[in-house]
Amino acid sequence: MNPAIAAGRRLADYVLPDHTKTLRRLSALQGDDPMLLVLIRGFFCPKDREQLKALTRFHPQLVVGNCRLVVITTDDWHTTNNLRQQLGAHYPFLYDEERRVRDDLDILEYTDPQHEPMVPHTLLLAPGLEIRRIWNGYYYWGRPSTAELHDALREVTRDIRPDWDLSDPELKRRWAAGDKSAFFPYGSKSMEQTLKEMAGAVDQYAGRA
């Protein structure tokens, strides 16, 4: 992997088409939440399918926990849709037929000259596309379990949400004074916007790139 892709660095703000052929920008899909970005080989890989089955079951917890989930594949549009529909997934799938992400990150799986896919990786991104964790999934056991993701998301959410512990006297004072800037989502966006994001209404909260 490109040595610039490391914890503490920022991932490039890629613009790629999604399963509806609409161009999406990663930062717009992320908003001000943590995001799991899953880079997969594609439809043909049974390891990818098993990982995505688990993530699809886990997705309702990500929704209520205010974490975004996005997949990037090197499949074409039709194959990308087939995989997403077969999984029953309700989160964005982006496709990168030109393999820009693979080449930028230097993650060509050179042991598979037939498909030339990406080596699978799972990235946990804090707001601003800041890389917090990277899991290399060339071997299936290198991929994070949902229990590991739960722990990692607890850690990053604690870091980015000042109102993690409502027993803090300073937080109580600020709320009583009408200062909601430290409280999520009250200090950053409307409840209407929050519910659109939780509903996965990508066109309404992320728009076109």
Instruction: Please write the tens of the pLDDT for every residue from 93-114.
Output: 999 999 999 999 999 999 999 9
Name, in order, each residue with C-beta under 8 angstroms of 128's C-beta and a sequence gap of 6 or more: 10, 27
Tens digits of per-residue pLDDT, 37-62?
999 999 999 999 999 999 999 999 99
User: SS3 for 78?
Assistant: helix
Q: What is the percentage of the chain residues whose pLDDT exceeds 90?
A: 90
The chain-wide mean pLDDT, for the chain, equals: 96
179 pLDDT above the threshold of 90: yes
pLDDT at residue 4, as a whole number: 85
How crowded is residue 166: how many other Cβ atoms within 10 Å of its Cβ?
A: 9
Assign 3-state DSSP to the chain and report helix, strand, coil percentages, each to 5: 40, 20, 45
118 pLDDT above the threshold of 90: yes
pTM confidence score: 0.95
- Binned at pLDDT 50, 70 and 90, residue 130 comes out as very high
Domains of the chain: 15-161 (3.40.30.10)
pLDDT at residue 203, as a whole number: 87
Tokens of 177: 């004074």
